[in-house]
Chain A
Amino acid sequence: QVQLKESGPGLVQPSQTLSLTCTVSGFSLTSNSVHWVRQPPGKGLEWMGGIWGDGSTDYNSALKSRLSISRDTSKSQVFLKMNSLQTDDTAIYFCTKPYSGFNWFAYWGQGTLVTVSS
C-alpha cells in the first residue's frame, strides 16, 4: 500500500539549511508527484512545492528563492532543502501524494517537526 515517511533533524539553527527526506513505498516516483506541505504549531497548512513524475518541480512563489525539491528514484526518496531558515519556519513538515494521478492529496506522511532555534 502507499506509504510516505518524513525524516530529518528535529532542530535547525537560524540561518542554516533544512534538509528533509520523504521515503515512499507502494508507488513509483517516475509516474507520481510528491509534494511538501508545512504547518506551524497551532496554525494552518501551507503548500510548499512538489516534484512531478517527469522530475519537474513546482514551488510556492513565497518560498521559491529558498527552496529546492529533488528526488532519488532508485531509493524512492524525495528531498526538500530550504536555506536561510528563520524561527517562523518552525513547523511540522508533511509530504503528500495525490490519489492515482489525480489532483487531490490522498496520502500523507505522519509529518516531522522541525524547530528553528539557537
Chain B
Amino acid sequence: DVVLTQTPVSLLISLGGQASISCRSSQSLVHSNGNTYLHWYLQKPGQSPQLLIYQVSNRFSGIPDRFSGSGSGTDFTLKISRVEPEDLGVYYCLQRTHNPDTFGAGTKLELK
C-alpha cells in the first residue's frame, strides 16, 4: 500500500500567519492516465472531513484562495496563508491513484 507521510505532526501558528504542510508518498502518485490523485482535507473538531484541494492544486468550490496546493510525483505541499480561527483542525492528504486509497496520518493546526 502507498504510505503518505505528513509533516509536521502539529503546527502552532499565530492568527494571520502562514502554515505549510508536507505530504510525501512512498511511490509516485501519477496515474497511468497522467492525472495525480492527491487531495487535501480539513477535519474540524467533531466534524466530517471537508475537501479543500483536489488533484494537487485545485481549490474546491467555496475554498478561499488562502489555501494553495503544490507538488508533483511523490512530494506535495499544502500552504495556508493568513491563518484564521476557522482554519484550525487536522489536515489530511489522501491519494486515490493506487488501490487501496490511503490517507496521511494528519497534521494538527493549533493557535499559538
Contact = CB atoms under 8 A, between A and B. Distances in A.
A56 interface: no
Interface stretch (B17-25, B73-81, B94-102): B94-102
B48 A102 contact: no
Contacts, number: 61
Q: How large is the interface on B (under 10, 10 to 19, 20 to 34, 35 or more residues)?
A: 20 to 34
Contact of A102 (B54, B100, B103): B54
A35 B101 CA distance: 11
Contacts of B43: 45
Q: Which of A46, A62, A103, A106 counts the most B-chain CB atoms under 10 A from its CB?
A: A103
Interface in B21-71: 35, 37, 39, 41, 43, 48-51, 54-55, 60
Interface residues of A, number: 22
Given A104-B55, A106-B60, A44 B103 contact: yes
A109 B60 CA distance: 18
Interface of A: 35, 44-47, 58-62, 94, 96, 99, 102-106, 108-111
Interface of B: 1, 35, 37, 39, 41, 43, 48-51, 54-55, 60, 92, 94, 96, 99-106
